Amino acid sequence: MIKCVVEVSARHIHLSQADFVKLFGPTAELSEKNKLSIKTDFATPYTVTLVNGDKKLEGVRVIGPFRPRTQIEISLTDARHMDVEPHIRLSGELSGTPGVTVSGDFGKTCLREGVIVAQRHLHIGMESANKLGLRAGMIVNLVVGGERGALLKNIMVRLATVDQPTVHVDTDEANAIGLPAGGSGEILIK
Amino acid sequence: MIKCVVEVSARHIHLSQADFVKLFGPTAELSEKNKLSIKTDFATPYTVTLVNGDKKLEGVRVIGPFRPRTQIEISLTDARHMDVEPHIRLSGELSGTPGVTVSGDFGKTCLREGVIVAQRHLHIGMESANKLGLRAGMIVNLVVGGERGALLKNIMVRLATVDQPTVHVDTDEANAIGLPAGGSGEILIK
């Protein structure tokens, strides 16, 4: 078993440059508010509101840098609240997913697709992965202790620039395993 | 391994008779809207709103019959939303838990304590329990398959009048294991 960090991904949005301009205007810049453990990503000072009919989710954080396509990551609890059909997907796999309207300080954009519930996954550096015989796309398990101790299956391995092996779960998963503020666990390779 | 039903407990409230009268008036009756799998309990037509400062949760279902003390069961997601400190407890263990204001059609009541996040548990009939060597208070594991397959530890055994062994999880746990509408699993006795 390999020790890992467990981080909670709160609902967030990755924007294409075109959608960013629609939402925050032509003079806005995608600046950095704080760094994230995945060193290629950063939190920005911007938030958006997601709208689906009369349902809303406010304060959804914009994560940089720009992506080729806008992608929204929410939990199953959020999906039920927003009345959108949940699709559990890996980042980037947006085909056939539902859309919502996204509203920013300057304007809005109506997405035809792009809303996913992220499949839980392990970010691991290339060197650590090689040592452990892990490759991108492999499936591992996460073991956590405590009063809501659990073993979560189907954790997808992804290569990333991280200091430590880091599992990303959503807020539902974090609550279910009693780590609403994140914590640590162990990776069990099958 | 023993097959079991997995049911989702949405947020709900059990009321004392005194609190019911405060909330719904002296002439209201705690009638049955529909039966529940635990045959001693039933859903009522009544809902309440939970209030903590400027935070609210509306449409919280009242479950009958009356209990000696009012008890509110919410998820960790709800606890965070309501800004109350979550205590993962068995039903009835209310000492030191937070309180909220409860509002009904007729009036309201300010609880000093009574809000819990229910510890996940297995309801099982006496006869089945005896066959399996299970006693109230023992701890078992729940195994579920599917794309969010998992093993949830610390499932507390409770004796109840049920047709089938039935695990109760909250909405966070149900979402984390991919069973937001409930489903089935297997009990693993350690």
**Average pLDDT of the residues in A111-134:** 97
CB-based contact A147 B119, cutoff 8 Å:
yes
ipTM: 0.90
> HEC string of chain B?
CEEEEEEEECCEEECCHHHHHHHHCCCCCCCCCEECCCCCCEEEEEEEEEEECCEEEEEEEEEECCCCCCEEECCHHHHHHHCCCCCEECCCCCCCCCCCEEECCCCEEECCCCEEEECCEEEECHHHHHHHCCCCCCEEEEEECCCCCEEEEEEEEEECCCCCCEEEEEHHHHHHCCCCCCEEEEEECC
pLDDT, tens digit, 9 for 90 and up, residues A62-94:
999 999 999 999 999 999 999 999 999 999 999
pLDDT tens column, B149-171? 999 999 999 999 999 999 999 99
- Chain A residues with CB-CB distance to B150 below 8 A: 150-153
Residue to substitute from A6, A175, A186, A188, interface B, most B β-carbons within 10 A = A175
Rounded mean pLDDT of A138-160? 97
| Domains along the sequence of chain A with CATH | 10-118 (no CATH), 120-189 (2.40.40.20)
pLDDT of amino acid B190: 77
Which of B57, B58, B77 is the best mutation test for A, with the most CBs of A within 10 A? B77
Q: In terms of pTM, does the model score above 0.90?
A: yes
Supply the pLDDT for residue B149.
Answer: 98
pLDDT at A96 over 80: yes
Residues B153, A150: C-beta atoms closer than 8 Å = yes
Query: Are B172 and A77 a contacting pair at CB < 8 A?
Result: yes
pLDDT of A30: 97
Residue of B nearest to A76 (CA): B175
